[in-house]
Amino acid sequence: MSMKPAVFLDRDGTLNEEVDFLCDPDELVMIPGAAAAVARLNAKGIPVVVVTNQSGIGRGKYDWTDFAAVMSRMGTLLAMENARIDAVYASPHHEQALGEYAVADHPERKPNPGMLLRAAEEHGLDLSRSWMVGDKALDIEAGLRAGCKVALVRTGYGASVDGSRADLVADSLPDVVDHILSHWP
């Protein structure tokens, strides 16, 4: 089986408006054009994988049920634009987390590449031909450590992030997708 390239997306600040510890589906607001951009990737058969740090779970601010409810709402909003996420990976780990999640440098917590590596293994993805898109330096770092091309979006926290290590810096996800699709094999 030949491995496929994918597009890995951070969630908060990349797909949806940044909300501290987003756990209420009613507070989910998609970034303008993000759903349509995902639909364009879907239409080309490019796997779209969300990789998101969720320390709020580890810190006890919300639980996996709340996270699932937000992702379900996102799925509904994406479907309205004929878009979908193919897989979701979330890391609840953080040095200030509680119990088993209290791990300062867990392999799956970005900037570590664990979520991308696991997704690649589980879905047969070629990381060297994939993109990681996010709004934080830790998204860029995770993508670089996984061997992906990386894009920084200026949405979310991205307006104040140094993009010098990124392969691409763009205003928002639709601009990144324009670039990716114009250079897709």
* 138-143 CB contacts, 8 Å cutoff, 24+ apart: 138/53, 138/110, 138/111, 139/10, 139/14, 139/110, 139/111, 140/165, 140/166, 141/110, 141/111, 141/165, 142/51, 142/110, 142/111, 142/112, 142/113, 142/115, 142/116, 143/8, 143/113, 143/116
Cβ of 40: how many Cβ atoms within 10 Å? 18
Q: Which listed residue (12, 66, 135, 139) is catalytic?
A: 12
Query: Tokens 């205003």 appear where?
Result: 171
Q: Which listed residue (10, 66, 135, 139) is catalytic?
A: 10
Cβ of 26: how many Cβ atoms within 10 Å? 8
Per the annotation, the verdict on 167 as an active-site residue is no
Per the annotation, the verdict on 63 as an active-site residue is no
CB 53 within 8 A of CB 13: no
Which amino acids are annotated catalytic? 10, 12
